[in-house]
Chains A and B, each alone.
Chain A
Amino acid sequence: MEPTDAELVRQCRKGDSGAWETIVQRHHTRVYNLAYRFTARFDLAEELTQEVFLKIWRTLGQYRPQAGSFPTWMTRVARNHLIDFHRKHKTELARTDSVDEHSDRGTEFASGAENPGQTFEREERARHVHRMLLELPAHYREAVILRDLEELTYDEMLSILGVPIGTVKSRINRGRIELAKLMKSRRRDLMTGGQGT
């Protein structure tokens, strides 16, 4: 039977490097995807994942299994780091405005019965929406990412964001509305642009 996260953390604190390796293997993809969703750049996601794990390693002593699951705690640490990063590099990120578009990295979609054309189309749409997601204010963006992309429950979000449930719900709703309005306006721009040419 595989050891639980709490057991692995306990072993890590005792100096078991194998336990730490297991934790990294088990959770690095999740942190990597979270970082990618916040930054929309693979190179930054790789760098930030390493930084987040270093932070997790340093603060491992603060994790209390009775206060919540390890992935939730880890996501909170990652989210704080990503927000800090975003604050420090806000202008730079806004200037580059570059969702990694020409990536040869594989993607795993929910449906496996797609032909390459459909997959490409879906990827294109996802990148398009992702770009718009980055235009939202930080607190709406993180709420939408955690709820709709990371598929966290409200309880997990409460624990990660540390704000009342009403605020969590309102941020998710407002974030979705803003994103929907952005999508609509871009679609309208595209149509009017198309008619003009």
Chain B
Amino acid sequence: MNCTHWEAYLSDYLEGGLGTADRTAMDLHLESCDACRGLLAGIQEVVGWGEAFADHPAPAWLAGRIVLSTPPVVRERWRDTLAGAWRMAIEPRIAMTVFASVLVLGWTANLAGADIPNLVRNPSSVYYGAQNLAYGAYDEAVRTWYGSRIVTEIHCRIEQLWEAS
């Protein structure tokens, strides 16, 4: 293995992160390689420099300025939330949009034959009406399926097989 291979493990070697076999192999390589030994010494110097690197005290005014430049927290109460929602609802653009939507939906439903006064009086009729429609569609589908030619043909074949056996 060449030096490029061993270079990748120099930091692990220094920090004791290699297994026994790898460590021994690295020791053997270092004994015979001046370049890698020099590089290892360089890395040791870098690590040593890092350990001795100065910690600079921050200027005394810095913490105070950070606190001063932080925007204050304004806690929103539920009353503020409701007031905000109300303000939004009475905005002319929103109010007009809601009004126009109700009008268009009402006209469309009327044209489609919906009994609007009854719907308003009895909203659950929408659910039951939809349920009836769904059941009706299901029954129709089942009837069509069993009345179809292919299903009848399959039934006949199965019966013939039974008789033959």
A contact set with B: CB distance below 8 Å: 12, 14-15, 17, 20-21, 24-25, 28-29, 32-33, 36-37, 42, 46, 49-50, 53-54, 57, 105-111, 122-123, 125-126, 129-130, 144, 147-149, 151, 169-170, 172-173, 176-177, 179-181, 183-184
Contact in complex: A125, B49 (CB < 8 Å): yes
Instruction: Write out the residue numbers on chain A whose beta carbons fall within 8 Å of the beta carbon of B47.
Output: 148, 176
For residue B53, give the distance in angstroms from its CB to the closest CB of chain A. Answer: 5
Q: Using Cβ atoms and an 8 Å threshold, which residues of chain B touch A29? A: 55, 57-58
* A residues near B56, Cβ cutoff 8 Å: 32-33, 36, 42, 105-108
Are B46 and A57 in contact, CB atoms less than 8 angstroms apart? no
Q: Are A49 and B66 in contact (CB under 8 A)?
A: yes
Digitize B124-137: 1 where CB-to-A-CB distance is under 8 Å, 0 elsewhere: 00000000000000
Question: Which residue of A20, A36, A37, A177 contacts B7 across the interface (Cβ within 8 Å)?
Answer: A177
User: What CA separation (Å) do A111 and B48 show in the bound complex?
Assistant: 13
Is A183 a contact partner of B58 (Cβ separation < 8 A)?
A: no
Partner of A180, one of B9, B42, B53, B63: B42
Write the residues of chain B forming the contact surface with A, with a CB cutoff of 8 angstroms: 7-12, 38-39, 42-43, 45-47, 49-59, 62-63, 65-67, 69-75
Q: Whole-angstrom distance from the CB of B151 to the nearest CB of chain A?
A: 59
Task: List the B side residues contacting A147 at CB < 8 Å.
Answer: 50
Given that A15-B73, A176-B46, A176-B47 are contacting pairs, would A20 and B52 also be in contact in the complex, using a CB cutoff of 8 Å? no
Measured in the bound complex, the distance between the Cα atoms of B42 and A183 in whole Å is 8
Complex-state Cα separation, A172 to B8, whole angstroms: 10
Cβ distance B7 to chain A, nearest Cβ, rounded Å:
6
Given contacts A33-B55, A110-B51, contact A173 B11 (CB under 8 A): yes
B141 CB to nearest A CB, Å: 51
Contact present for B62 and A49 (CB under 8 Å):
yes
Contacts of B38 in A (CB 8 A): 184
A14 vs B74: C-alpha distance when bound (angstroms): 9
Shortest CB-to-CB span from A120 to chain B, Å, is 12
Given A28-B62, A46-B59, A180-B46: A107 touches B54 (CB 8 Å cut-off): yes
In the complex where A29-B57, A180-B43 touch, is A54 in contact with B69 (Cβ < 8 A)?
Answer: yes
Are A144 and B50 touching (Cβ within 8 A)? yes
Could you tell me if B39 and A149 are in contact, using CB atoms closer than 8 angstroms? no
**In the docked arrangement, what's the CA distance between A149 and B10, Å?**
19
Q: Could you tell me the distance in whole angstroms from the C-beta of B58 to the nearest C-beta in chain A? A: 4
Question: A149 CA to B72 CA in the complex, in Å?
Answer: 34
Which 10 interchain pairs have the tightest Cβ spacing? A180-B42, A148-B50, A107-B54, A15-B73, A173-B11, A32-B58, A53-B66, A176-B43, A29-B58, A108-B55
Partner of A107, one of B10, B55, B72: B55
Specify which chain B residues have a CB less than 8 angstroms from the CB of A53 in the assembled complex.
66, 70
Report chain A residues within 8 Å CB of B49.
Answer: 125-126, 129, 148
